[in-house]
A and B are shown apart, each in its own frame.
Chain A
Amino acid sequence: MNVLCIAGFLGSGKTTILLEVARSLTEAGSRVAVIENEIGEVGVDGGYVREQGLPVQEIFGGCICCTLQIGLVQTLETLTATHSPDWVLLEPTGLASPGDILGLLVDNVEDLDVLRVLTVVDAARWPMLLEVVEPLVTSQLQSADVVSVNKADEVSAEELESVMASVRSLTSADARVLAVSAAKGTGMRALLRAAP
């Protein structure tokens, strides 16, 4: 089984990108399943993803990187038993630390072939996020294999270059950093090649 964790701050566009990745993998012949984690005890994204025809398991009321770790492991086991997915796309809350999720999966899940992290950054809000929640958003970059700097169409070329430079300075040297606009489809082809 392969797992792609699509992390990133609240409102950065994780669900939109998840659906594009799912569509791409499905068109390539893979069986895809989705895990949606939300902090509140009422989910929004799971229903929307399910409407797109994907099997979805939802985990509510906390964060799978800390207090709901067993919930994640159990949910992966359930999905494996019921859907035998080639790929599980995992969308944690916008407050999750993907590094903690990686450690959890490596320690507790057997038969993991590929485990990757795609972190989504909101280009339009990046300066403000660094000001208000810097430790959180920088931690979300540290385990990323690929970073999608999303909403690139909402900032100027100079602002985008500044965000890209900031993000590159916070990621590992071998992480790929790609500017995209998921809503408009710009840059998505390169992202879909790099992410899974």
Chain B
Amino acid sequence: MTGGHTHEDDPGRHAHGGHEHLSHVPDAALPAVFAARAEVVLDPPAHPDELESLIAGFFRALLPALAAAGCTLVGHIKGTMAAPGHGDLAFHATDLEAPPALTGGVAGLAHDAVLTVNVIVFGVDEQALPALVRDAWADATRATTTWR
């Protein structure tokens, strides 16, 4: 047995790769994993429906890119767009062909937001996955984005 990273309040900071974390899964069933957080500055500030459009645009760019990269199965793509003091917009998808489900939402105009995204897919080269996600986000928005 080995130790793990446990935390109650600080949810980790960097992208993950590495199948050493899934020693019980057969190689043929190993997914590619990318989880990251980004600070997003929305200028001009975004209305709630604009944030929803932003997430929808992100998925319109990401899903075809994953398919083109050989994705055979979406484990899940999930995350949140959180605007401090204004709430969270949560999203998730399990299908290359369908738009994401959205829950929650942000009230009022959001200027600063934190994007958290967790992508687990099968059939995609894990080394290529971070760039696919970041490029899809860049295609969807001109907002200044700093990935952590």
Residue numbers of A with Cβ under 8 A of B are: 9-11, 38-44, 46-48, 51, 56-72, 74-75, 78, 94-95, 97, 100, 122, 125, 128-129, 132-133, 135-136
Could you name 7 residue pairs across A and B whose Cβ atoms are closer than 8 Å?
Answer: A40-B12, A42-B16, A44-B118, A58-B11, A60-B11, A61-B21, A69-B4
A41-B4 Cα distance, complex, nearest whole Å: 11
B8 lies within 8 A of A57 (CB): yes
Nearest chain A CB to B101 CB, angstrom units: 9
Q: Which residues of B contact A71 (CB under 8 A)?
A: 3-6
9 tightest A-B CB contacts, nearest first: A40-B35, A71-B4, A68-B4, A62-B21, A10-B75, A11-B94, A11-B76, A42-B35, A41-B12
Question: Which residue in chain B gives the minimum CB-CB distance to A132?
Answer: B73
In B7-60, the 8 Å CB interface with A consists of 7-8, 11-16, 20-26, 29, 31, 33-37
**Interface positions of B (Cβ within 8 A of A):** 1-8, 11-16, 20-26, 29, 31, 33-37, 72-76, 78-80, 88, 90, 92, 94, 116-118, 120, 122
| Known interface pairs A11-B94, A63-B24; A41-B35 also in contact (CB < 8 Å) | yes
Contacts of A51 in B (CB 8 A): 88
Query: With a CB–CB cut-off of 8 A, which chain A residues contact B6?
Result: 57-60, 71, 74-75, 78
Chain A residues lying within 8 Å of B37, measured Cβ to Cβ, are 42
Most interface-central of B3, B11, B34, B90 (chain A CB within 10 A): B11
Residue of chain A at shortest CB distance from B1:
A69
Residues in A with CB closer than 8 Å to B31 are 10, 95
A78 to B4, CA, bound (A): 14
Cross-chain contact B11 with A46 (CB below 8 angstroms): yes
Chain B proximity of A104: nearest CB distance (Å): 8
Answer whether A40 and B7 are a contact pair too, CB < 8 Å, given A63-B21, A133-B73: no
Tell me the minimal C-beta distance from A152 to chain B in angstroms: 16
* Residues of chain B contacted by A136 (CB below 8 angstroms): 25-26, 29
Other A-B contacts than A41-B16, A44-B90, A67-B4, 5 sampled, CB-CB below 8 A, are A41-B5, A62-B21, A63-B22, A66-B23, A94-B75
Residue of B nearest to A46 (CB): B11
Residues of A within 8 A of B117 (CB): 42
- Minimum CB–CB distance from B76 to chain A (whole Å) comes to 4
Nearest A residue to B34, CB-CB: A40
For A94, give the chain B residue with the smallest CB separation: B75
Question: Is there an interface contact between A44 and B24, defined as CB atoms closer than 8 Å?
Answer: no
B35 to chain A, nearest CB (A): 2
Bound Cα distance A24, B107 (Å):
30
- Tell me if A67 and B76 are in contact (CB < 8 A): no
A65–B117 Cα distance when bound, in Å, is 23
Q: Which residues of the other chain, B, contact A64 by a CB distance below 8 angstroms?
A: 4
CB distance from A3 to the nearest CB of B (A): 17
Partner of B4, one of A72, A125, A132: A72
Docked pose: A78 CA to B9 CA in angstroms: 14
Contacts of B1 in A (CB 8 A): 69-70
Q: Are A100 and B15 touching (Cβ within 8 A)?
A: no
Task: Choose one: B5, B24, B94; the contact of A59 (CB below 8 Å).
Answer: B5
- Nearest to A136 among chain B residues (CB) is B29
